[in-house]
Amino acid sequence: MMRSTVRRNGRKAIPGSEISGPVALVTGGARRLGAAVCRHLARRGYRVVVNFRSSTQQAADLARAIEAKGGGALAVRADVTRPADVRRMVDRIRRVFGRLDVLVNNVGDYLEKPLSKTSFDDYRRILESNLTAVFLCSQAALPLLRASGRGRIIVIGYAPVGRLSPVARCPVYHTAKTGALLLTKAMAVEEAPRGVTVNMVSPGTLFNSVLKPSTDPRDYIPAGRFCRYQDILGALDYLLGDEASYVTGGHFVISGGYAI
């Protein structure tokens, strides 16, 4: 937890804990796409748990910005590749809010390197952040998501992953995201009787991606532009809405026609 406020009776309270509404956990929520998701969910009335590992200042600033606009936010440090950290994070959510309605598995390091030059440390780091983290966070969050009655798990994927074809420039990352897609589908089948939906949303090349196949999107993206955060947020809105309560195990590619 980053900080606290004080009730009139002198007891400390977590910012947002006294605000009503559903609760969403966003892993890697302090920066870039994760921060955009946190701000968007806060605007939609969610109390947002901003998970971070090392972006302490960014997480604190984001939580304060959400609170300043009347929302509820809690910044929680946890390395989501470590089981003990994940358990502590979910226990914290249970104690503070007593519920969890949405989990967005956003964490995932990227590696563009041929297999022959990939070290074991590279391999382990990419699989842990993109696959192990999804397993650990989803498993730990499921009891609260089931109790919600309308729990939602969203896994942020990778546009080419559904094709099951080799991607030579980033084979380990592609392998990890493929595993995350299969895990998404397995969880969807297992949790459907309990009312929890599980889906993957896979962006194409984001506008702020450092590594792009080309600096000109018209070279390879049929829509002629890079993916914007708003494109992804629109898909999230649909999947979190009541109209998508029957939609589970899906892979939603947000790529403007690229990699489909």
Q: Considering the domain 5-254 in this protein, what is its CATH number?
A: 3.40.50.720
| Domain spans in the chain, listed from the N-terminal domain onward | 5-254
Q: Tell me how crowded residue 122 is: count the other CB atoms within 10 A of its CB.
A: 15
Determine the residue type at 25.
L
Q: Tell me how crowded residue 246 is: count the other CB atoms within 10 A of its CB.
A: 8
Return d(Cα 54, Cα 159) in angstroms, integer: 27
Return d(Cα 96, Cα 3) in angstroms, integer: 13
pLDDT for res 129? 98
Return d(Cα 165, Cα 13) in angstroms, integer: 50
pLDDT for res 9? 40
Per-residue pLDDT of the chain (260 residues; tens, 9 = 90+): 344 333 334 445 565 666 778 999 999 999 999 999 999 999 999 999 999 999 999 999 999 999 999 999 999 999 999 999 999 999 999 999 999 999 999 999 999 999 999 999 999 999 999 999 999 999 999 999 999 999 999 999 999 998 888 888 899 999 999 999 999 999 999 999 999 999 999 999 999 987 888 999 999 999 999 999 999 999 999 999 999 999 999 999 999 999 98
Predicted TM-score (pTM) of the model is 0.92
Q: How far, in Å, are 107, 133, 139, 179, 183 from residue 176 at the CA level?
A: 12, 11, 18, 5, 10
Q: Is the alpha carbon torsion for 54, 152, 40, 60 positive or negative?
A: negative
Q: Hey, which residues are catalytic here?
A: 173
Residues 6+ apart with CB under 8 A from 258: 159, 204, 205, 220, 221, 222, 223
